[in-house]
Amino acid sequence: MNCVNGIRAVVEAHAQLKKPAVLATVIDTRGSSYRKAGARMLIHADEVTGIVGGGCFDDDLIAQARQVHQTGEPQTVLYDMTSPDDVLWGLGMGCNGAVTVFLQPVGPGISDDPLPLVAELVQSDAGGYVATVVDCQTPDRLGASWIVGDGQPGPAMADAGLQKVDDELGLFVDHVEPPPKLGIFGAGADALPLADIAAQTGWLVEVWDHRPGFAVASRFPMAERVSVFADEKPEGIERCFAVVVMSHSFAADLRFLNTVADVDIPYVGVLGPVARRQMLLEQMGDKGPPLESRLRGPIGLDLGGELPEEIALSVVSEIQLLRYRGSGRQLSP
């Protein structure tokens, strides 16, 4: 089972299909659930890409998908674990939630396949909305999908989720976003685990270094691109949600920060103590003040540990915290 990179992995697996498969999409949740609406899993023979139930009901879902594959007819499956009796009489999960999953055929020869549309939005700069018919009195309309509007939410889709258009038609409207992008300046040994952990959590990773001997793609198999920084603004850096500066060279870090100071990147982190960050800002002159509120250093959350992998985990955690506006608190009471 390939669970890395979420929807991107599903899209990539779909592109490799030689025969029809079954797409499972979470279209509604109530109470506690492992994944929320929009989570997808591609089921093809014994190959499964993505995850929707966290193991709670995935085995049963795969069995249901075999039936859809045989009949070619979409169907909706409800997993209701809200009753205390579920532990004894149901699937035995005790998760206290309900999950509705829409199963539909996809792949070669399937006309109502939403994944090409999803792929189009995943590969775009801004993403957008895909609507899929999941409830209809006319069975041959089930599974029909289209991109809605210009990517901006309109009156009929202020929020993604299930929507009843009329008495005969129910839609699932999903907001599809391209994967977030992380840029790493500095391709030293400590950048390797940062690139790997970020990629495994769904980030598109690009690496730059001022030293050609370090900027080698084979050293970063999880990165989308590895290139040499030549004092010019890297192409596509505007798409970065976060950039981590870690070349271990003060002069190189300074040149890079001067180059990207005017780019609206929400998170810019620089490796090293507070004093080093302040020295960089001072050396940047007029370019320093506009960047100061976004420039972080030291970087990462205080998780403890000192290994490169542990530091990388703390940095990715801080970036995730900012992206999803989390609290960072311990979830257990």
CB distance 297 to 276 below 8 Å:
yes
Q: Are 22 and 43 a contacting pair, CB within 8 Å? A: yes
Contact 229, 208 (CB under 8 A): yes
10 Å Cβ neighbour count for 113? 22
Phi, psi of 244 (to 5 degrees): -115, 125
**161 and 21 both lie in a single domain:** yes
Among the listed residues 208, 176, 185, 221, the one whose alpha carbon sits nearest the alpha carbon of residue 39: 176
Question: Which of the listed residues 129, 155, 176 is the one where a domain comes to its end?
Answer: 176
DSSP codes joined into one string, 139-190: GGGTT-EEEETTSS--GGGSSSEEEE-SSSEEEEEEEE-PPPEEEEE--STT
Is 330 within a domain? no
Co-location of 75 and 109 in the same domain: yes
Query: In 3D, which of 266, 215, 207, 272 has the Cα closest to residue 241?
Result: 266
Helix (H) or strand (E) holding 268: strand 267-270
Write down the pLDDT at residue 139: 77
The answer to whether the pTM exceeds 0.95 is: no
Tell whether 134 and 185 lie within a shared domain. Answer: no
Coil, helix or strand for 229? coil
Say if 72 falls within a structural domain.
Answer: yes
* Rg of the chain, C-alpha, whole Å: 23
Is 329 within the bounds of a domain?
Answer: no
Residues 6+ apart with CB under 8 A from 85: none
| Nearest Cα residue to 39 out of 50, 30, 55 | 50
The pLDDT tens digits for 268-309 are 999 999 999 999 999 999 999 989 999 999 999 999 999 999
By residue count, the chain amounts to 333
CA–CA separation, 257 and 247 (whole Å):
12
Last residue of a domain, one of 119, 146, 176: 176
208 forms bridges with which residues in the sheet? Answer: 185, 227
Domain identity same for 153 and 232: no
Low-confidence ranges of the chain (pLDDT < 70): 1-5, 83-95, 149-162, 164-167
Q: Nearest Cα to 246, choosing from 288, 286, 212, 296?
A: 296
Let me know if residue 275 belongs to a domain.
Answer: yes
Number of compact structural domains in the chain: 2
Q: Which residue has the tokens 């775009």?
A: 124
100 lies in a domain?
yes
ω before 298 within 30° of 0 (cis)?
A: yes
Which of 158, 176, 194 finishes a domain?
A: 176
Torsion of CA 312, 317, 319, 325, to 10 degrees: 180
On whether the CB atoms of residues 213 and 274 are closer than 8 A, the answer is: no
Q: How many CB atoms sit inside 10 A of residue 221's CB?
A: 11
In a domain, 285, yes or no: yes
Residue 1 maps to a domain: no
- Coil, strand or helix: which one is 13? helix
Predicted local confidence at residue 160, as pLDDT: 58
Q: How far apart are the C-alpha atoms of 7 and 115, rounded to whole Å?
A: 10
> What is the extent of the structural domain holding 239?
181-323
pLDDT of 83 reads: 63
